[in-house]
């Protein structure tokens, strides 16, 4: 392939340890899998946008990739206030509140707002830019409403969020990313015209049962990679006592890196419930097939292939197995 044919991607994050793994996977796999991470945009979600951007810089510093530009975006959902959570899963700072003493050079964060930068890059490279969104969809929704002409100019969109069977992880019926900004998810699914790949919460639940926490710590975590060593500290605290590892955002990043990792999927028309008293933020699938399908929904991944990708990203000697 010529360089001009390489995939180019912007990743939108709310870092979050599983976002951090997704970033590491994407940045480590660029050369082997022929794509380029053009930019990283940050949003509210697992933590506030400032902590999220700091965590991105920590990861980039650890692996020597400060060449990738970082932008701060939305600080809150489009309509409602930031939902209150008494005990955020990833801690207040997104990295398990480790009281890190490192110095993060926030001057490296670009001054442009993430929404405007998304527009500039999508517009200038019409049809060429892939998007991987692994937090609330606020930045993309705002970009669509400010600049509706981008709706037809995105190459492909990968999203971690929502649910297939109405199983929630933050409410009875809603997954965290869509629950955090249901209006944003609704705007995205009803406007973008490119192929959408969706990894829902239930798929993450089924995949986690194949990845013991012992493997995560003793095998994957046994490396000199500085980013992984940082994540060892954070996830050692977050997942303490849990039998399985659940890196939801890394699952989605792996699907982007190597689509062959998908064992099964199904196409649906997807929309988001906005007004239900018990179901706000729930993903609604058209099982009647009465509307045009707009999403490829991931059902099952090839676990061993995923684990090999993660080992590769963590600098283990496994390239010959990929």
Q: Which residues are catalytic?
A: 14
SS3 string, the chain, reads CCHHHCEEEEEEECCCHHHHHHHHHHHHHHHHHCEEEEEEEECCCCCCHHHHHHHHHHHHHHCCCCCCCEEECCCCCCCCCCCCCCCCCCCCCCCCCCCCCCCCCHHHEECCCHHHHHHHHHHHCCCCEEEEECCCCHHHHHHHHHCHHHHHCEEEEEEECCCCCCCCCCCCCCCHHHHHCHHHHHHHHCCCCCCEEEECHHHHHHHHCCCEHHHHHHHHCCCCCHHHHHHHHHHHHHCCCCCECCCHHHHHHHHHHCHHHEEEEEEECEEECCCCCCCCCCEEECCCCCCCCCEEEEEEECHHHHHHHHHHHCCCCCHHHC
Of 33, 12, 28, nearest in space to 225 by CA = 28
CB 163 within 8 A of CB 200: yes
| Rounded CA separation 46/83 (Å) | 11
| Rounded CA separation 178/22 (Å) | 19
CB 72 within 8 A of CB 61: no
């Amino acid at each position: 392939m010529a360089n001009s044919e390489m995939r180019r991607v912007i990743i939108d994050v709310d870092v979050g340890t599983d976002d951090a793994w997704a970033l590491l996977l994407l940045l480590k796999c660029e050369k082997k899998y022929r794509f380029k991470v053009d930019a990283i945009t940050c949003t509210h979600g697992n933590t506030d946008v400032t902590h999220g951007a700091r965590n991105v810089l920590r990861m980039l510093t650890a692996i020597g990739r400060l060449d990738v530009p970082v932008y701060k975006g939305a600080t809150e959902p489009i309509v409602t206030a930031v939902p209150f959570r008494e005990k955020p899963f990833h801690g207040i700072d997104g990295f398990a509140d480790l009281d890190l003493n490192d110095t993060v050079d926030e001057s490296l964060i670009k001054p442009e707002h993430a929404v405007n930068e998304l527009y500039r890059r999508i517009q200038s490279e019409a049809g060429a830019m892939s998007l991987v969104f692994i937090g609330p969809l606020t930045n993309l929704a705002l970009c669509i409403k400010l600049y509706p002409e981008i709706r037809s100019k995105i190459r492909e969109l990968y999203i971690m969020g929502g649910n297939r069977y109405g199983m929630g992880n933050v409410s009875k019926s809603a997954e965290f990313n869509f629950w955090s900004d249901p209006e944003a998810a609704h705007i995205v699914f009803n406007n973008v015209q490119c192929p959408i790949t969706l990894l829902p919460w239930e798929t993450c639940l089924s995949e986690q049962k194949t990845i013991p926490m012992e493997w995560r710590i003793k095998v994957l975590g046994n490396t000199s990679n500085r980013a992984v060593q940082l994540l060892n500290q954070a996830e050692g605290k977050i997942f303490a006592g849990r039998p399985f590892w659940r890196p939801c955002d890394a699952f989605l990043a792996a699907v982007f890196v190597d689509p062959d990792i998908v064992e099964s999927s199904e196409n649906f028309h997807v929309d988001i419930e906005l007004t239900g008293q018990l179901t706000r933020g729930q993903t609604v699938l058209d099982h009647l097939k009465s509307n045009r399908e707009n999403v490829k929904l991931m059902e099952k991944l090839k676990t061993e292939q995923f684990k090999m990708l993660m080992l590769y990203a963590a600098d283990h000697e496994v390239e010959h197995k990929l």
